[in-house]
Amino acid sequence: MKRDAKSSAVKRDAATVAVTKRTTQGGAAKRGAAKASAPRGSARRAKMAPPVETLDKLRTIHPDAHCELDHDGPFQLLVATVLSAQTTDVNVNKATPGLFARFPDAESLARVDPKEVEPLVSTLGFFRQKAKSLVGLSKMLVEDFGGKVPRRLDDLVKLPGVGRKTANVVLGVIWNTPEGVVVDTHVQRISQRLGWTKNTDAAKIEQDLMRLIPREQWDPTSHLLIFHGRRICFARKPNCEGCGLSEVCPSAFEAENVGRKPKRDRTAYLQRED
Ligand code: SF4
């Protein structure tokens, strides 16, 4: 009886080892096949995915790439972008309908105390700071810009809570006149994976992207990379097998640890410009 039990256990172990071996070999074979299907030489082995060709491919993969912050006009986009710091667009889109119903423009927001705004944005991180920024920027818009959102980066960054990144979102999405490339967490990670930058600092990554990408592509580039990061090139477990860039991406099938951001510093918002 004992011997039978022992022999069954040995058989089970042998079967488990065989299945594990097959699975491991299958995975390796799959990765190998995908790598083998990549063009030999230059493109696959290049240290950098060719920017213009890669953007063309991304346009095919994500033909509907666009800014995912719901808005109607420059003021609402400015407000939504300020609110989006350290939170997701989905969360912002849940909060803004109520906010815009009560305060549809700069004039209405400029008149109130931030305390009145706080309950409408309290689901978002740093909501007290953000409420203060929204009232402050609305006051400045009314007093210095006739209630309208200015179209120059130098003017936009004077507004409370508005830094270069927020300003370029508004300039790019509303007028297609950004003065740089918007670098968020997705743009940062994918730029590193594609070999477009070796930097980890957003300002330096932006400079690298501005050198590599034609100016008229600066705004769409951000949306394409953000779409790709949200749907395919995830921070953890990027879907390289299902990615249309795998033949040109130098990190394909080895990307897990490339471009991962350091642990979040929860005090960072207060030190950030936006
Ligand atoms: S999913 Fe993989 S192949 Fe595609 S861009 Fe990201 S790292 Fe490169």
Q: With a 6 A CB cut-off, is 243 part of the ligand 1 pocket?
A: yes
Ligand 1 neighbour 238 (Cβ under 6 A): yes
Catalytic residue among 57, 130, 132, 165: 165
DSSP for residue 53:
H
Q: Work out the average pLDDT over 171-187.
A: 97
Is 93 a member of any domain? yes
The DSSP 8-state label assigned to residue 195 in this structure reads: T
From residue 125, alpha-carbon distances to 84, 160, 210, 264 in Å are 9, 17, 31, 13
8 Å CB contact between 246 and 255 = no
Residue type, 177: T
Please give the pLDDT value at position 263: 57
Asked if residue 159 has its Cβ within 6 Å of ligand 1, the reply is no
Q: What is the mean pLDDT of residues 93-113?
A: 98
Which residue is closest in CA terms to ligand 1's atom 6? 233
103-117, 173-187, 235-249, 260-274, range with the lowest pLDDT: 260-274
What pLDDT digit, counting tens, does each position of 77-92 carry?
A: 999 999 999 999 999 9
Domain interval for residue 166: 74-175
For residues 88 and 218, membership in a common domain is answered with no
- 165 noted as active-site residue: yes
**For residue 34, what is the enclosing H or E element?**
helix 2-37
- Ligand 1 centre to CA of 12 (Å) is 38
Does 85 lie in the same domain as 134? yes
Distance 181 CA to ligand 1 centre (A): 20
Same domain, 166 and 232: no
Residues 186, 141, single domain; the answer is no
192 lines ligand 1 (CB under 6 A): no
Q: Specify the higher pLDDT residue, 273 or 123.
A: 123
Provide the pLDDT confidence category of residue 259 given band limits of 50, 70 and 90.
confident
Sorting pLDDT into bands at 50, 70 and 90, what band is 256? confident
pLDDT for the residue numbered 258: 82
Choose the final residue of a domain: 159, 175, 191: 175
Mean local confidence (pLDDT), 181-197:
97
User: Domain holding 163: CATH number?
Assistant: 1.10.340.30
Task: Quote the number of domains for the chain.
Answer: 2
**Residue 33 predicted with pLDDT over 90:** no
Q: Indicate whether 171 and 241 sit together in one domain.
A: no
Instruction: Tell me what pLDDT residue 235 has.
Output: 95
- Is residue 184 part of the annotated active site? The answer reads yes
Exactly one of 89, 105, 184, 208 is catalytic; name it: 184
Dist. CA 271 → ligand 1 center (Å): 32
Residue 193 located in a structural domain: yes
Alpha carbon 228 to chain centroid, angstroms: 9
In the reported structure, the alpha carbon of residue 258 is separated from the centroid of ligand 1 by a whole-number distance in angstroms of 10
> Does a structural domain hold residue 128?
yes
16, part of any domain: no
Taking only the tens place, the pLDDT of each residue in 210-230 is 999 999 999 999 999 999 999
252 touches ligand 1 (CB under 6 Å): yes
| Mean pLDDT, the chain, integer | 85
Instruction: Answer whether residue 31 is part of any domain.
Output: no
CA–CA separation, 26 and 153 (whole Å): 53
Quick one: CA torsion of 5, 7, 8, 14, rounded to 10 degrees?
150
In a domain, 170, yes or no: yes
Has residue 120 been placed in a domain? yes
Which tokens hold the place of 105? Answer: 């423009």
